[in-house]
Amino acid sequence: MNGTWTAWGDVVLAAIAAIPIAAIAAWWLARRRGRRAALCDVGMVFGTAPWLWMILTPKGTGRSLNLIPLRDLTEQLSDNRVVEQFGGNLLVFAALGFLLPIRLPWFAHPSRILLTGAAASIAVETLQYVLAIGRHSSIDDVLLNAVGALLAGILSRPWWARPDEAPRYLTTSPGQPSRP
């Protein structure tokens, strides 16, 4: 765990330092979009950005790729950093999975949350490979990232948006006639 703090402590500190910025952004957006939408938007960005910073930080040059499901996961079981690897991968898109179905009714379904987490993870793993930043791109990371988004989404189910809840920016202002 000490090695993890040494490697990523600056990201954690930057994320903590960004909390006031996130609060100001949420306050500013709430005036335009409503509090619920603003908190979800800011939470998705600020909850995911530190993980993306870690994932896309170069570790040298080169690239490696694993497209065989569960191969990396089984190899990591004997590693002393297994909890960090599994836990970290589950948390990468957890904020997205938790808040997206609260924010937008279309995403308020487990399969859509899972597919969104998988699509976002595929984009990140593809970037790691294409940019050759010394990272290992793996289908197992995609699986864990997507499952993490799904589990977080399931935890947020009591607050999911309903299809009859139009986002505030799609509604008319008081005193204005509604559009057909």
Q: Domain-by-domain residue ranges, the chain?
A: 2-165
Residue with tokens 């793996």: 138
What are the CA-CA distances from residue 176 to residues 84, 154, 179 (Å)?
A: 53, 38, 9
Q: What is the mean pLDDT of residues 45-57?
A: 95
Residue that wins the pLDDT comparison between 68 and 164: 68
Cα–Cα dist 102/154, whole Å:
11
Cα–Cα dist 12/14, whole Å:
5
At residue 138, φ and ψ (nearest 5 deg) are -140, 140
Cα–Cα dist 14/46, whole Å:
11
Q: What is the mean pLDDT of residues 7-16?
A: 86
Look at 5-19, 30-44, 116-130 and tell me which has the smallest mean pLDDT.
Answer: 5-19
Give kind and range of the element (H or E) at residue 45.
helix 35-55
Q: What is the mean pLDDT of residues 98-127?
A: 98
Percentage of the chain exceeding pLDDT 90: 73
The CA R_g of the chain, rounded to the nearest whole Å, is 19
Q: For residues 105 and 159, is the Cβ–Cβ distance under 8 A?
A: no
Q: For residues 26 and 38, is the Cβ–Cβ distance under 8 A?
A: yes
Q: Does position 12 have pLDDT exceeding 50, yes or no? A: yes
Q: Does position 167 have pLDDT exceeding 80, yes or no? A: no
Q: What is the mean pLDDT of residues 151-176?
A: 74
Look at 9-18, 89-98, 133-142 and tell me which has the smallest mean pLDDT.
Answer: 9-18
pTM: 0.85
Residues in the chain: 180
pLDDT tens digits along 59-71? 988 999 999 999 9
Q: Does position 78 have pLDDT exceeding 70, yes or no? A: yes
pLDDT at 7: 75
Q: What is the mean pLDDT of residues 103-115?
A: 97
Of 70, 80, 76, nearest to 142 by C-alpha is 70
pLDDT at 120: 99
122-159 per-residue burial string, b: 16 or more CB within 10 A, e: under 16: bebbeebbeeebebbbbbbbbbbbbbbbbbbbeebeee
Maximum CA extent, the chain: 65
SS3 1: coil
